[in-house]
Amino acid sequence: MTPVTHPIDAQRLALILNDLRLPAIKLNWPDIAQRADKEGWPAARFLAALAEHEIAERDRRRIERHLGEARLPPGKTLDSFAFDAVPMISRAQVMAICSGDGWLEKGANLILFGPPGGGKSHLAAAIGLALIENGWRVLFTRTSDLVQKLQVARRELSLEAAIARLDKYHLLILDDLAYVAKDQAETSVLFELISARYERRSTLITANQPFGEWNRIFPDPAMTLAAVDRLVHHATIFEMNVESYRRRAAVQRRTGAGRPPTYATIKTIDQAPAGDEQPSG
């Protein structure tokens, strides 16, 4: 016969579990207790089952909270990333990076180079998602958006505090580095951010231009050299020099499935207005 829990005892237990902030145990203990009584579990097994449910629920809530704050673009996963279209990127290496062990603890960086539409932003977001699922905290942002916020913080004399708040993120993903205006005020706050995270917190950068063209971003040659030096000192660099995903998709739309593009079609796409394709990496 299965023992019956007295209603008063159940109410008292619910209050205790509320005070202890153990919502998963509060929700699941009646079912687990019934199974434990039926199968004759020892007390240690019963307690372990309750604790496992609580830990699993805390992990789920934490991941959900971290996903909400990460601001990742939707739908960008490793499963949907076309590794076969980017043969220079090793799936095995990317999967190892997604564990986060070792490199995030050391504040190492990732840098993705390549032309617009080559999949940089997709891969960056997919890595961010996988890291969150493995327990790390990530923030994804367009570089220009974050730089503008940091400029506001500087005007309000709170730049140091604003940069310090970003320390809670193990990985800061700065998308589209090239689209920061060549302005001394903007590039100086970007440099301060890079310097503040150096060897402490990791940064992932997507950029269209190789390092040799970063003088277009940092107008001061000394600042350019210092920024590159800090970023590459502990960094993994992926060069994604492939044809634009968006370009290929546009060709397929205009030629029809299974029909090879003609020269005239490709030329038409090349001459399309700039607004038709916004480069986002």
- Give the tens place of pLDDT for each residue, 22-34: 888 888 899 999 9
pLDDT > 70? residue 6: no
Which pLDDT score is estimated for 171? Answer: 97
Per the listing, tokens 């029909």 go with: 259
Q: What class is the 94-239 domain?
A: alpha beta
Query: What's this model's pTM, rounded to 2 decimal places?
Result: 0.74
Tokens (6 digits) for 253:
């739309």
pLDDT > 90? residue 160: yes
pLDDT > 60? residue 134: yes
Per-residue pLDDT reduced to its tens digit, 82-128: 999 888 899 999 999 999 888 999 999 999 998 888 899 999 999 99
Tokens (6 digits) for 267:
């030329």
Mean pLDDT over all residues of the chain? Answer: 83
Give 200's pLDDT tier (boundaries 50, 70, 90): very high
Percent of the chain with pLDDT over 90: 49
200 φ/ψ angles, rounded to the nearest 5 degrees: -120, -50
For residues 243-252, average pLDDT: 55
> Which residues are within 8 A (CB) of 238 and not within 5 positions of it... i.e. 6 or more apart?
88, 89, 110, 111, 112, 113, 114, 123
Residue ranges covered by each domain of the chain:
7-70, 94-239, 245-272
Distance CA 174, CA 172 (A): 6
By the 8 A CB rule, do 128 and 163 touch? no
Which pLDDT score is estimated for 228? Answer: 86
Q: Crossing angle of helices 245-255/263-270, nearest 10°?
A: 130
For residues 61-81, average pLDDT: 95
Which pLDDT score is estimated for 7? Answer: 66
Distance CA 253, CA 251 (A): 5
pLDDT > 70? residue 262: no
SS (H, E, C) 220-248: CHHHHHHHHHHHHCCEEEEECCCCCHHHH
Q: Which of 89, 147, 111, 125 is nearest to 230 (CA)?
A: 111
Does an H or E element contain 97, and which?
A: helix 91-97
pLDDT > 60? residue 189: yes
For residues 208-226, average pLDDT: 77
204 φ/ψ angles, rounded to the nearest 5 degrees: -110, 125
For residues 158-173, average pLDDT: 96
Long-range contacts of 46-51 (CB under 8 A, 24+ apart): 50/25, 51/25
> What single-letter amino acid sits at 147?
V
CA atoms within 13 A on the CB side of 35: 9
pLDDT > 90? residue 8: no
More confident residue, 154 or 254: 154
Distance CA 244, CA 105 (A): 33
More confident residue, 7 or 160: 160
Strands 202-207 and 109-113: parallel
More confident residue, 115 or 212: 115
